[in-house]
Amino acid sequence: MVSVQFLALLLLAVNIAAVVQLWRLRNGLVWLGGSRGHEPESGPEKHMDVPLDQETAVILCVRGADPSLPDCLAGLTMQTHSQYTVHAVADHASDPALPWLSRSAALDQRIQLHQLASPPVAHRGLKVSAILQVLRELPSTVKHVAFIDSDVIPHSSWLCELTAPLSQDAVVATTGTRWFMPARDNFGSLVRQEWNYYANAIIVQHQMLWGGSFATRADELRQAVQRELWADTLCEDTCLADLLRRQGRPAVIVPMTAMINRETCSLRGACDFITRQLVFTRMYLSAGLEIVLFGVTFSLLCLVSTVAVAVLAVTGPVDAWLVTLVAYLLLHGSVLALEQVGSQIPGILQPHRNCGRPPRSWKLLPAQFVCAGVSLVASLRALLATSLTWRGIQYRIQRRHPRIQMVQYRPFAEVLASDRSFRGTGGRSI
């Protein structure tokens, strides 16, 4: 029979292995924050070149009027880039975002409106279909294509900073990162904030793209589309980043284009959000399965270590409890170190933009435990997912071609009428 002491030693050994990986992830965040002397093992170089303002198209896909949409549009009209147009595309004439888009287009001729052809293609994601349609309609003079989400509020130099590295022949794509700093300290928002620290570290480690703020060369993008990169995909960013990395031309992360998101969400919303991100990772990133399995393992270790040290403190034996306590302190000390770096990065990257600091609350400590539980559930859901709901549309995930099948298309106005949880900054607004 396996002794308690042996199990305690096994937990210590596994925790040490996890701590090694956590410190690698932490080093990625240190690099992102600009600290010297802590470079990731294979990270991109920082590029702060002065951009040569070539003609750029910014694609903004909307489905519903996000609370940040007016500020997003205002930010897009105030860019210091000298040659750009904004191509906003909605999937239906009844979309709640269209009044905002129409008003902005009337005030600024650089904003052009598009509507997705009906009915949408069933074997790819709605956002991918919208992007492909806009790309077909872009003039051949466009040299760079940038992407932005409606929950992003770009600062005036965002587009210049994002496209600057593309002036170098070796750079094909650039990306920013997203940081959640919720306005309220409810558990759902804190869990998503905690999880996002790890997500950004993995973005640095695997040189991934974030669809809310990235740019690429138009000719390279057209070639990828011709090779049917997005023929039957749910999302646009992960598979493109994976293709570029396999070609030896990984995306360049531009730290100064980090974007702050202050929206709040419920625990259910946080779990759905994390699940969706992990499904995309599993499906379209070469190392996706490894990343999701690490999420399962790490979440289990956090939960098991906490429970084991509490149980053995009461039941003994003392020697097993001491070993378990060391395992717990090693793991959670590394967690705190990583999250401490993550909490400082928004202020480091955007010191002149009044980012503030993440909320300080007594809920942060229990939120770490809750985050481990939510992350475990989300990781298991991502591994076993046969369907996914995104912005009110359900997709079937299939093993055979095509991998994706839209179950039923509904305009977002109909979704709002039947499901109030999509309104405002509700749990599933992102």
Concatenated DSSP letters of 220-271: HHHHHHHTTTTTT-S-SHHHHHHHHHHTT-PPEE-GGG-EEE-----HHHHH
- How far CA 278 is from CA of 118, 150, 260, 289, 414, in Å, comes to 30, 21, 21, 9, 28
Q: Note the Cα 15 to chain centre separation in Å.
A: 27
The angle that helices 187-206 and 4-32 make with each other, rounded to 10 degrees, is: 70
Beta partners for residue 174, in sequence order: 215, 252
Partners of 112 in beta bridges: 87
- Give the containing element (helix H, strand E) for 214: strand 213-217
* Strands across the sheet containing 252-253: 111-115, 84-90, 56-62, 144-148, 213-217, 173-175, 252-253
Tokens of 159: 């587009």
Residue 174 belongs to what H/E stretch? strand 173-175
The pLDDT value recorded for residue 289 is: 95
Considering only CA atoms, which of 68, 22, 107, 153 is closest in space to residue 425? 68
Q: Angle at the Cα of 138 (from 91 to 66), degrees rounded to 5?
A: 35
- Which pLDDT score, from 0 to 100, does residue 426 have? 41
Q: Where are the alpha helices (DSSP H) in 89-236?
A: 98-107, 126-137, 158-163, 187-206, 218-226
> What length does the chain have?
430
**DSSP state string for 364-382:** HHHHHHHHHHHHHHHHHHH
Q: Which tokens belong to 75?
A: 């930010």
Q: How far apart are the first and last CA of the chain?
A: 49
pLDDT for res 1: 63
Q: What is the pLDDT, as a whole number, of residue 411?
A: 93
Question: What interhelical angle do 364-384 and 288-315 show, nearest 10?
Answer: 130
Q: Are 313 and 321 in contact (CB under 8 A)?
A: yes
As a whole number of angstroms, the distance between CA 19 and CA 23 comes to 6
Beta bridge partners of 405: 396
Amino acid found at 280: F
Give the pLDDT score at 343: 85
Task: Name the residue with tokens 């770009």.
Answer: 154
Question: Running along the chain, 430 residues long, what does each successive block of 10 average in pLDDT?
Answer: 87 95 92 54 44 85 93 95 95 94 95 90 93 93 96 93 93 93 87 93 93 95 90 93 93 90 91 96 95 95 94 91 95 92 80 58 78 96 94 91 90 86 47
**What pLDDT is recorded for position 147?**
97
Could you tell me the two tokens for 31?
């690099």
